[in-house]
Amino acid sequence: MRMSYRFVLGVGLSFAAFLLRAEVLCFDCGTADSPVMPGYVRAVPGRTEKLRWEGKRSLHGRAGTITRTWNPKRAGHNHPPLTDELSCDYWWNDVGGTLTVAVPEGRYRVWLFTGKTQWQWAQVWDLRVQCGEAATSATFPGRGEARLLELTGTAGKDGLKLEFSTRSKFALNALIVAPEAEADAAEAKWISPIRLALTLLPPEELKKWKEIKPVHRPEYPAPEWTDAETERGFALFHRHWSEPVWPNQFPLRREIGAPVRGFGVPGEREILTVSIHPLRDFGQVDAVVSDLTGADTKIPASAVDLRYVRYMYARPNYMDRGTYYRVPDVLMPWNRRRLAAGENLRFWLSVDVPADAKPGLYRGTLRLKLDGRDALVPLTFRVAGIRLESDPRLVFGTYYDFPLHRMDGAPDAFSKAWWRHKSEAEMAHLQASGMNALISSVDFERTEEGLKVYPGEFKRDLAELRRFGLDKVLILALPLDGLYKHYMGRAPGKHQTDAPMPPKEFFDDVTKAVREFEKVAVRENWGERYYTPWDEPEENDFAVSLVRESLKAVRQVPGAKTYLTADPAIRAYRSFAPYLDVWCSQPFSVPREQVGKAWNASPQVQYWCYPNHNSGENDHTVVLGGRMTYGFGLWRSGFRTLIPWIYQFYGHDQWNYLDEYYSDFGVRSTDDGDPIPTAMWEAFRQGMQDGRCLYTLKKRMESARTAGLTAEAEAARKLLDRMDSFVPVQEKYIRDGMWTPESFDALRWELVCAIEKIDRALSSAKERGRK
């Protein structure tokens, strides 16, 4: 059949016009039968118009399941991530290649949605995409984390070329390509819903939640802005680091232009903060900190860690569901930012005072550049001429999810190396922060062949703990959930809520397993150790009976000691007492006189504390309470150990505190696996420093008394007694009933000055002795 010339010409002109018309392209990557997000084009590897892949290996499609809400019966890590049509499926590849998008010549904005793979936990996903000179990348572990990447590139005659590379595997859930002229409209229509789902929740679930105003957030009226502030479009203000700067909160007039100053001790860390309240939008903000210069010396800029405070949507408590608000939380490494009018930006400067820093006054600046306009913030810092000592009796630990356990299941070399690096980086961070213990575990199971005991995994953990000085005490969790299920055919319920008594053989296995571990521990000198069979038991008869008999089974082994997270003030737990060596309560519920007597009793009983009210069971802003708990509060309580749950917790996406049955909290991780601290974590660290000041003055007082410096020793004793009477006695230090933030620093400075005075007196006495 012959076609007319006019028809062919018309088709050709229409096709040419189609090629020349730039349009927004939205591809939902998956398989031939996976769901497609409305408005998107189904993208199947090798079968999608306008997409061509060239590489050593083909792209693969994978489809998962759509999960729009949680099933309470599968709460926690076992629950799949929340997904929709866009995030439930994806392409993957483990080599890389070139993806060409058939678009007309011109400039394009490209968004790549990657993650929510529902793959195994130990897989580390790694993606780098380059388009001409522009590049973007993401690296993250697990099955539920997700990223939205963005870059701008130029399409040539043969289309827009995206170069993909990976060191393990990459996933691509969606690809959106928009002409530069239509990028803002595409952002609003197509990208904003993705950002909303990643930052908060999918629309179906978000409808069930309510954004609220935190009752403890102060509401300050707008100050009367000066002509200078209005003209430059922002105000600089200073607020003590332990007091939150909320995202859309006005500063007080007395905070605007307030001096930024602090003091520190060689070998310790001190915090300075500066905040910007923008009166209009700024496209680019940058910051650089200078050296801190003294009379004849300096603290280099490299010793000042510059970060900014990232706001996160959080719940009032990690177990709460249904309400949320934005809180200041994560201390992100600094990079250039945009500013929206009315949203504060807080700079967080951690001054790590060099161990050889000379005492004296240092000055420097934080130089800010907002859309090309400079602003200088003067910094004043004083270094004291003392060294602090640490109380060797104190244990600062935390529950911990060992990255090495993930490494064992990692499917490729890059993933294994990533988990190894994460382990080393986190343990170094724990050590630098003042921690000296971690909760670990030992492993055994009952099989058809008999009881199997596996000491090898813990021995590897122990080698890491010793390498980083985190082995002051060993708390060894026993895997009794699995053993209980073997004998009873079901789990004992959360916190042993519904746990009928298992047969005698269950407890015999507990004793046998502990006996085997003790043989290895004694032979290989594991160190001081405690076995914990269960965690936070309920107060009902089921839980109490099961826990009591389990403790008794452990104590059947000569020399085996026990530990339990249970409050001795609770009447239902009194039957545990004959079988417990360590009571670990969440509050400081035992009077310090009783704590002191227990240390000297025979047999010795210890009282520890796991202050979860400062770690997870809050909205991430009880920073002042964290400092008090780890410093003056611990000193006043008489307790010697703090060991909360947990260093890092996230169910799926560490950058979304709402997307799991429980909330995330604790230290975050960079793409490389390095730790990113939070304001709360730094509060713990500062509290420990308060405690070292108290302990150092006590030791100096003893040295002064020994040296015959009676007046100096008596002055130190009076100061310590006065501070002891100052400390508010509370079972839980959270945010109420404590000193002002500035009072902490004033008291620390008084301690530092008293230590300096005794040091000078001791030095003079020593010099007189030589003469």
pLDDT score at 12: 42
> In terms of domains, do 320 and 261 share one?
yes
In residues, how long is the chain? 771
Q: Considering the domain boundaries, does residue 213 fall inside one?
A: no
Q: What are phi and psi of 542, to 5 degrees?
A: -55, -55
In whole angstroms, what is the distance from residue 142 CA to residue 144 CA? 6
Q: Tell me, what's the pLDDT at 282?
A: 98
Q: Indicate if 263 and 171 belong to the same structural domain.
A: no
**Does 399 share its domain with 522?**
yes
Half-sphere exposure of 376 (CA within 13 A, CB side): 7
- Does the pLDDT at position 11 exceed 80? no
635 in the same domain as 533: yes
Q: Tell me the C-alpha distance between 379 and 332, whole Å.
A: 21
Q: Are residues 448 and 330 in the same domain?
A: no
The three-state (H, E, C) secondary structure of 491-533, written as one string:
CCCHHHCCCCCCCHHHHHHHHHHHHHHHHHHHHHCCCCEEEEC
Confidence (pLDDT) at 7: 36
Distance between CA atoms of residues 132 and 446, nearest Å: 58
- Tokens, residue 97: 């290649």
Q: Is residue 338 part of a domain?
A: yes
Contact status, residue 416 vs residue 410, Cβ threshold 8 Å:
yes
Q: How many CB atoms lie within 10 A of CB 212?
A: 11
pLDDT value at residue 3: 43
pLDDT at 534 over 60: yes
Cα separation, 239 vs 216, whole angstroms: 17
DSSP 471: B
Give the domain CATH number at 547: 3.20.20.80
Tell me the C-alpha distance between 173 and 88, whole Å.
Answer: 8
- The lowest-confidence range among 127-131, 154-158, 584-588, 592-596 is 592-596
Q: Give the integer Cα–Cα distance in Å for 443 and 457.
A: 8
Q: Specify the 3-state DSSP secondary structure of 194.
A: helix
Tell me, yes or no, whether 222 lies in a domain: no
Q: Are residues 98 and 181 in the same domain?
A: yes
Q: What is the pLDDT of residues 15-29, one digit of tens each?
A: 344 444 579 999 999
| Average pLDDT value for residue range 579-594 | 96
Among residues 697, 732, 751, which one ends one of the domains? Answer: 697
Q: 639 and 560 in one domain?
A: yes
Answer yes or no: are the C-beta atoms of 643 and 437 closer than 8 Å: yes
Q: What is the pTM of this model?
A: 0.94
| CATH number reported for the structural domain that contains residue 185 in this entry | 2.60.120
DSSP state of 571: G
What pairing do the DSSP bridges indicate for beta strands 146-155 and 474-477? unpaired
CB 75 within 8 A of CB 661: yes
Q: Which of 328, 358, 383 is the last residue of a domain?
A: 383
301 & 445 share domain: no
* b/e per residue 213-227 (b: at least 16 CB within 10 A): ebeeeeeeeebeeee
Q: Binning pLDDT at 50, 70 and 90, where does residue 398 land?
A: very high
- Examine residue 74 and state whether it is found in any structural domain, yes or no: yes
CA distance 633 to 628: 5
In this prediction, residue 77 has a pLDDT band, given cuts at 50, 70 and 90, of low
Contacts of 755-760 spanning 24+ positions with Cβ under 8 A: 755/384, 755/386, 755/693, 755/696, 755/697, 755/700, 756/384, 756/385, 756/386, 757/712, 757/715, 758/697, 758/700, 758/701, 758/703, 758/704, 758/709, 758/712, 758/713, 758/716, 759/385, 759/386, 759/700
Residue 723 lies in a domain: no
**Residues near 25 by beta carbon (within 8 Å), at least 6 away in sequence:** 41, 50, 101, 103, 175, 176, 177, 178
> How confident is the model at residue 618, as a pLDDT?
92
CATH number at residue 357: 2.60.40.10
- Domain identity same for 555 and 491: yes
Residue type, 426: E
Whether residue 361 sits in one domain with residue 279: yes
Q: Is residue 676 part of a domain?
A: yes
Q: SS3 of 140, please?
A: strand
| 383, 405, 437 - which closes a domain | 383
List, for residues 41-57, the tens digit of each pLDDT value: 999 999 999 999 999 99
Amino acid type, 406: R
Structural domain total, the chain: 3
Shared domain check, 615 and 480:
yes
pLDDT tens sequence across 431-490: 999 999 999 999 999 998 999 999 998 999 999 999 999 999 999 999 999 999 999 999
pLDDT value for 16: 41
Same domain, 415 and 299: no
For 2, the token pair is 């012959």
Residue 390 lies in a domain: no
For residue 615, the enclosing domain spans 395-697
